Amino acid sequence: MSPKEITKLDITNEVFKEPFEVIRQIASNLEDMKYTKVIQTFVMEDRRLNLSLEREGSSYFKGKVVWIGNKKDDSEGTIFCVDNKTELKQINPNPENTEKVILDIKKETIKVSTASKTKCAVCGKNIEIFDEVAGCPLCQSRAHKEHMIDWVRMKHSCPICKKSLNVSSSGVIFID
């Protein structure tokens, strides 16, 4: 009896952690996938890797992965830049908007099951997969990154716990 071939791999934890962990899974399961490392960004050379966003089992966005990189503020997580033929979209899977991420080895596809689980602490709207997220380091509330930065710049406090916060020039929110 041959061992059951693994064709689908759960890479949710790797995606939530950092791009290097994701690349390590891709490289060890899709052996001839070529990429170039540019600082902390992995540029996919032949654009073979697909990415599909799914909700309740059906796909609503598909494209080719252009690069896999880290967040601009160096916080945990992975950003996928995806070409869907009309534009380049940046996808930010995180625990607020993603249920799981599966690497389908046969189809050479990363399947992201999305769900809006969290509302923005500033505007009250859902945090979606295309949104960058920022959080309060004290109470763990979450918001759209731009909204959180604007709020902290204006009010110097968290919209939820009201404790003193500040924001660096690179957009990192810290305890003041």
Which residue of 30, 33, 115, 123 would you call a contact of Zn ion, by CB under 5 A?
123
Of 140-159, binders to Zn ion (CB under 5 A) are 144, 147, 158
Nearer to Zn ion, 9 or 139 (CB): 139
Beta bridge partners of 54: 59, 113
Coil, strand or helix: which one is 28?
helix
Indicate whether 44 belongs to the interface with Zn ion (CB under 5 A): no
Residue 83 or 150: the one with the smaller Cβ distance to Zn ion is 150
Among 9, 33, 105, 139, binds Zn ion (CB under 5 A): 139
The reply on whether position 33 binds Zn ion by CB under 5 A is: no
Helix (H, G, I), strand (E, B) or coil at 113: strand
For residue 152, what are the contacts with CB-CB under 8 A and spacing of at least 6? 158, 165, 166, 167, 173
- Nearer Cβ to Zn ion (65/167): 167
User: How many other CB atoms sit within 10 Å of the CB of residue 110?
Assistant: 25
